[in-house]
Copies of this chain bind each other. A is one copy, B any other.
Amino acid sequence: MLRMGMIGGGLGAFIGPVHRRAAELDGNIRLVAGAFSRSADTSRASGLAYGIAPERTYPDYRTMLAEEARRPDGIQFVSIVTPNDMHFAIARDAITAGIGVVSDKPATTTLAQAIELRQVIRDNSGAYALTYTYTGYPMLREARALVADGALGALRKVVVEYYQGWLATPGERTGNKQAEWRTDPDRAGIGGCVGDIGVHAFNLAEFVTSSRVQELNADLSKVVPGRTLDDDCTILVRFANNVPGLIAASQIATGERNGLRLRVYGEKGGLDWCHERPDLLVLNRADGVTECRHAGSDSLGPSARAATRLPAGHPEGFFEALANIYGDFAQMLSSKQERGDGLLQTIDEGVRSMAFVETAVESSANRRWMGLRDV
């Protein structure tokens, strides 16, 4: 049983309880300490509500790191679920203190910070993971394995779209807290839609194909009048070997919920996966027959099977996908070994994501193709 501390996620926060549920789901991690808020009072009240021992509910994260490091039963890692602008400093301090980190994405708010954090992690042999939740879904792991095993033959084309509609109206002017910070460059960074969800699409494209975007040409739009950050982006990309691709995301696609969809085409077939039905992976074969594969089925590969708890036909969802990431991290931490299978998203993917966002913003501003640096 690994001992986890949480930073952020106090009462009223949305994402804290989500991570708590996911971390504890499989019974090998337990939340035992927390600095749940910048307000010491809120942190204390939250700890009480979450059943944390009062002496392990801390007024701030630095105190927690210091105190827990001294305890024989101290936390082994922290889960960072604060607003984005705190991720970097907390991760750096935790790693430096010898404590592992599971960080909500993005790793940092700038590419420079991400590179710095990478160095810190390397220098300290730190254990670090980013919760790109979608990479925890079993059928995306199956997709990745199928591509890697050559089931599609040579890669031909990659399309990942992520369409939401919740910012189709200017909620930031009517008190929607989520809308407020996500449309505010001071808090969200230079990327709006591209940084919030476009980056998920990008990460997934590379995750599933094990190939890398080499250059891109981005069209970022501020569709709802009055916005200073993009709320819609469509990005032409080229992968290695000049394979064409598309990364598209929107938060003004009215009526869309959380429409993440990935399609990968190779010489021998095409894969299709949608988040709204995550247990299904469609393989369109070149011979015209479509194969649907189902999570929980015995016919899947080992990475998908390891990421499922229930037999086929029993839906698992977002919490379980996130739990898979916590589980992978726990396994790494327990074994003190890198996993080596590339399933866990690390600071490398964090660096890459930040490079993607910064390049996309610059490409769109200049309206031209740009290389995506491998930094």
Contact = CB atoms under 8 A, between A and B. Distances in A.
B232 A286 contact: no
Given A50-B27, A236-B234, A292-B292, A313 B275 contact: yes
Interface in A235-259: 236, 242-244, 246, 248, 250, 252-259
Contacts of A255: 265, 269-270, 283-286, 288, 290
A236 B217 contact: yes
A311 interface: yes
Nearest to A312: B257
Nearest to A220: B244
A102 B362 CA distance: 48
A45 to B, nearest CB: 14
Interface residues of A, number: 85
Given A265-B165, A284-B254, A369-B367, A292 B293 contact: no
B51 A27 contact: yes
A164 B157 CA distance: 12
Interface in A264-293: 265-270, 275-279, 283-293
Interface stretch (A75-83, A314-322, A351-359): A314-322
A254 B265 contact: yes
A157 B249 CA distance: 11
A360 B332 CA distance: 49
Interface stretch (A13-21, A35-43, A62-70, A116-124): A13-21
B252 A265 contact: yes
Given A157-B232, A157-B252, 19 more contacts: A20-B27, A21-B309, A152-B254, A159-B248, A165-B265, A219-B244, A221-B242, A254-B265, A254-B266, A254-B284, A254-B286, A255-B270, A255-B290, A257-B313, A258-B314, A276-B277, A276-B313, A287-B298, A288-B294
A26 interface: yes
B319 A286 contact: no
A314 B288 CA distance: 13
A372 to B, nearest CB: 15
A313 B258 contact: yes
Interface in A215-236: 217, 219, 221, 223, 232, 234, 236
Most-contacted residue by chain B among A257, A266, A269, A367 (CB, 10 A):
A257
Contacts of A268: 254
28 contacts: A21-B309, A27-B51, A157-B250, A157-B252, A164-B313, A169-B286, A217-B217, A217-B219, A232-B244, A246-B248, A250-B265, A252-B265, A254-B266, A254-B267, A254-B269, A255-B286, A258-B312, A276-B277, A276-B313, A277-B315, A287-B297, A288-B298, A289-B297, A289-B299, A292-B292, A315-B316, A315-B318, A319-B319
